[in-house]
Structure 1
Amino acid sequence: MAVQECSPRCLRLTEHIISMNPAHYTVWLYRFKIVQTLQIPIPDEIRWLDEVALSNLKNYQIWHHRQLLIDYYFPSIASEEETVKKLARTEVQFLNTMLKEDAKNYHVWSYRQYLVKKLGMWNITELAATQNLIEDDVRNNSAWAHRFFIVFSDPAVSTPSLSATAHDPKVPASLIERELGYAKEKIVLAPQNQSSWNYLRGVLAKGGRSLSDVVEFSSQFVRDLGEENEEVKSSHALDLLADAHGQSGESGKARLCLRRLWEKWDPIREGYWKHRAAELEAEAK
């Protein structure tokens, strides 16, 4: 490395060192330089990398190396539509293999988001992939986050300069309605799943819609609040109702929701709910 030798011998040496310590960041960078210098076919390097990744599921350096390879390779195939499609297909196949090992692997999901941007994978196939993973595990927050990215960061229906949770007038109303319906459907299946409630809030924000739009829906999970026969099927519904009532000026209802959260339905976060109630009091003055 000191003399920057880039030879087949050094390439083999990096493979040996990586086998002993796959987190060796400097060796990974050196290997990438050798790949460039020797003009190693990128598909060949990716196939080798697949095996390393499957043996080291949570290693950041592997995914950084993969991203460097794609960044280096893509300009040479960008004008070849079929080659790009093939690359996207083989990469997704590998990612699916990785997700079978760990469906919530942060590095895999981060790379998948990068890949969608890089290869323009804003398509029904990618959306269906997230749907399948959510069907397998409705509490897979990573799959929910990727679905939100696929739907609301698509350049064809979004404004790139806006933040992820900002209202985007470019998003079609029909898309907002579709995603609200999808979130509600999954909430009914698992009312205490925070992922789907967060998704619901995010869709409302993207559509410039008020939380009051889902008060009726959320209320089905909360019955007779504060009464002897009180029934709460979702603390997240109670949280949303507190926000919705607060926004509409119904501070009494909002405080009741928060009080029941700290008293019974989510006492582990008592301090947080009391802080929210104090904020309501301050706003009312």
Structure 2
Amino acid sequence: MYSQDPDWDDVVPLPQDDGDHPLAQINYSEEYAEAMAYLRALMAKDELSERALKITEHVIDLNPAHYTVWLYRVKCLAALEADLKKELQFLNMKALKHEKNYQIWHHRQLVVNRLGDPTGEQEFIKEMFEKDSKNYHVWSYRQWLVKRFDLWEKGEIEYLNTLLEDDVRNNSAWNHRFFIVFSRGTPVPEDVIEREINFVEESVFLAPQNPSPWNYLRGLMNRCNIPSDRVKKLCQHYAPLDNPARIKSSHALDLLAEIMAMEENGKESAKAFDLLATTFDPVRAPFWNYRKASIAA
């Protein structure tokens, strides 16, 4: 306990002040309440010392979501010119234990940005994805990492291929793929567009009713000058309007309805929306009927 440690004799702890009659006072443990009281005293006088750094680690162990303590830890690291590689090792342990903690990943971003070197980060992210390949915080950090250190061509597409081979329904991986292909602000080469269309076709073959590749294909159409016939043929393969019994994908049917509308083929577009409303997605019948009416108008 800090009250019994001679190294803390000069510190007057500042207990949390919730007023005279708190309405819903949190029942903190005695250990946490004391640690915060001593840390609060250091923060009040802006002490950026080794003991301040050490007590932030103690409080983070007790409450890893305390964002104010994380921010104070950053200040201590900067003032002490601490070993940031060692800090990353500390963060690795915390991230593996608290996978969905936002503060850990924000802190990691600040540390790596200050370090100016992403060595080992992609490998650690891979370790995180082995625990949960759809962790939103980790994907957000990976996007920042790619943009900050210009890692667009550093094995990202190859790694995404691996993830999607393992789970073609990993919508987070599809989202990151779109980010990698389209977020550099430069025109996408024709061979890359062709590669992505082929990848979508292969993915749809594995799971026709998976919405992710169809949404990705819609994004490709919006960003690139893809002939509608190329996409229409794929849609018609999985959603033949002349043979509804062979329709395998409501998502193909939806995209086909849009393409038919763009080509001003109102009759076929209306037929596709009717099939969605009555047979393949009746739960959202009012939406499909609205879409049909909007196109007719």
TM-score range, shorter chain: 0.7 to 0.9
Q: Could you tell me which runs of 5 or more consecutive residues in structure 1 were left unpaired when the two chains were aligned.
A: 75-83, 160-169
Work out whether 1:247 is the aligned partner of 2:277: no
**In structure 2, which of residues 165, 168, 171 is the aligned counterpart of residue 138 of structure 1?**
168
**Equivalent residue letter for 1:213:** R
State the number of aligned residues. Answer: 255
Match of 2:156 in 1: 126
Work out whether 1:149 is the aligned partner of 2:191: no
Larger relative contact order (Cα-Cα within 8 Å, sequence gap ≥ 6): 1
**In structure 2, which of residues 80, 98, 101 is the aligned counterpart of residue 38 of structure 1?**
80
Match of 1:280 in 2: 295
| Structure 1 segments (4+ residues) deviating >6 Å | none
Q: Give the CA deviation at 1:210.
A: 4.6
**Equivalent residue letter for 1:58:** K
Work out whether 1:234 is the aligned partner of 2:249: yes
**24 and 124 in structure 1: CA distance in 2 versus 1, 3 angstrom threshold:** closer
Compute the RMSD of aligned alpha carbons: 1.4
Q: Does the CA-based 8 Å contact 1:187-1:193 persist in structure 2?
A: yes
CA distance in 1, matches of 2:294, 2:55: 61
TM-score (structure 1 length as normaliser): 0.86
**Equivalent residue letter for 1:69:** V
Q: Give the CA deviation at 1:8.
A: 1.2
**Equivalent residue letter for 1:275:** Y
**Equivalent residue letter for 2:174:** W
Work out whether 1:268 is the aligned partner of 2:283: yes
Work out whether 1:56 is the aligned partner of 2:73: no
Q: Give the CA deviation at 1:174.
A: 1.5
Work out whether 1:194 is the aligned partner of 2:211: yes
1:64 match: secondary structure: helix
Q: Does the CA-based 8 Å contact 2:181-2:188 persist in structure 1?
A: no
Q: Could you tell me which runs of 5 or more consecutive residues in structure 2 were left unpaired when the two chains were aligned.
A: 1-42
Q: Percent identity?
A: 45
Match of 1:116 in 2: 146
Max Rg structure: 2
Match of 2:188 in 1: 171
Match of 1:217 in 2: 234
What do the CA deviations read for 1:68-108 (whole angstroms, capped 9, x no partner)? 1122221xxxxxxxxx4xx33x1011101110110000000
**Equivalent residue letter for 1:246:** A
Q: Does the CA-based 8 Å contact 1:25-1:61 persist in structure 2?
A: yes
Q: Give the CA deviation at 1:7.
A: 1.1
Work out whether 1:180 is the aligned partner of 2:223: no
